[in-house]
Chain A
């Protein structure tokens, strides 16, 4: 059995092998906004200026997955090149991204766990919806399911753990929260996060020319609408679900 390196406690990112054709650059073991920003910045940099043998870059919440072609490089060579890249300031500048506006309903039928979240946060359901819609969220990463965004961060008092028992099935478009973050579900799914609203927007639009409308770094605001309006948007069948976006200033 191979000896494993001791856990890394320093703040510098570590580079670890994953499988036979991938490396992971880990900026933190726990989520921090700084590690998330660093992961997105490195991913942008590697997409703009690929390293030899690199075949795929995927930014995650606090890490970056780098896959490579085994015939063209090795884990050791790519790891060394990555280390050199990380030692210098990253070249790619942050893009401004887009600002999305998404209509969503927060009535009890569309927000079955809003009251529970309000209790955990020490606020009223009305205050929670108001706060939620007033917060400009950032797409921290896309993952778990196609196009599905992890959004954040909500104010401190939204720091709440995942549920002990799973939500057996939230519908597509479900807005769910835990640990100051939000997931907007692409497909019906079980989840340990609490559902506090619903949108007609679909983060994966397979029939569209742009199947993945959101990108890491995009910003997003929810706007409360009446349940009947949401029903009409869902009924219309447009996967954009009334969402619009503008270029960030």
Chain B
């Protein structure tokens, strides 16, 4: 253990998160983990970590925290105003802070989930192979003021502070979709109408985001589904259509099985864009093929490699690299894939 990070004050929705607990669907526990896992890969790239570590997820509200020892931190996910002892802290960047430093993170301005990572990671005792709270599953819970979380030792102390350009996934937009096991229960016209419909987020939490049509339109119906459809497996990204014809994108803490038919599934690369869309944010869907999705959504190791390549010393003027947007990160990943296959 290497000291602690103490919560001095915070709003609701602050939890420890990591990449979740894979492999427990057979006993009814969804993977859980960070609502925006890409933010954990960004933090790992910024801090020079071999893999994402357990960190703090701030859903919407801000927080004040204090470090008991010198530590390197990274701020990723939905951009917030952040300061430490009077000094502004650049977002999507790593910072070296001294013992006793107080970190202030403001409330959400765009997006929902912000992440504070410490290089040594949060070193609480793992439960069922993970450290994160799974609120729907009844594992862990939201943290309140006064909580002190143990930190692990920095695996790469002295690493130069890096920064990444601000991603563009915090204001809704177009989300890519692939068909799933139940898409055929929706006729071709309904599936086409789904992609032609402007949606807004009605309400959302770590389990899922419920969508309203904007302007209101006819409900979506699984007209081809047989009566009495049995519950089938659910994975994050699935879009279930409830009895009333409303769409819900399932997120990290979704149930593992369910009886509502699912029209399709958001590709992993675009799911953070949904999770980061707060109430009222506009979203639209676009069908792509599974092959296109495979290219657009590289495996996690490639994501981390591409982010490491994109990270630059933080001392550079952010305007120098402001043109390195998310789309270019994606094409970087695709190039990595091709080299590996060659």
Contact = CB atoms under 8 A, between A and B. Distances in A.
Nearest to B138: A187
For this complex, into which size category does the number of interface residues on chain B fall?
35 or more
A1 B287 contact: yes
Interface in B1-41: 22-29
B265 A30 contact: no
Interface stretch (A101-109, A129-137, A139-147): A139-147
Interface stretch (A52-60, A89-97, A111-119, A218-226): A52-60
Given A18-B265, A143-B256, A24 B28 contact: no
A212 B230 contact: no
Contact of B26 (A5, A7, A58): A58
A83 interface: no
A142 B235 contact: no
A186 interface: yes
B27 A19 contact: no
B232 interface: yes
Interface in B124-143: 127-128, 136-139
Interface in A45-87: 55-63, 65, 67, 70-71, 75
A153 B200 CA distance: 42
A43 B22 CA distance: 17
A68 to B, nearest CB: 11
Q: Chain B CB within 10 Å — which of A43, A143, A147, A212 has the most?
A: A143
Interface of A is mostly: loop
B185 to A, nearest CB: 8
Given A30-B229, A144-B255, A206-B139, A18 B26 contact: no
A122 interface: no
A62 B230 contact: yes
A179 to B, nearest CB: 8
Q: Chain B CB within 10 Å — which of A65, A148, A216 has the most?
A: A65
23 contacts: A18-B181, A19-B178, A19-B180, A19-B235, A22-B233, A26-B181, A28-B230, A29-B229, A30-B230, A43-B26, A56-B26, A58-B256, A142-B26, A143-B255, A143-B256, A143-B257, A144-B256, A144-B258, A145-B138, A204-B28, A204-B137, A204-B138, A216-B26
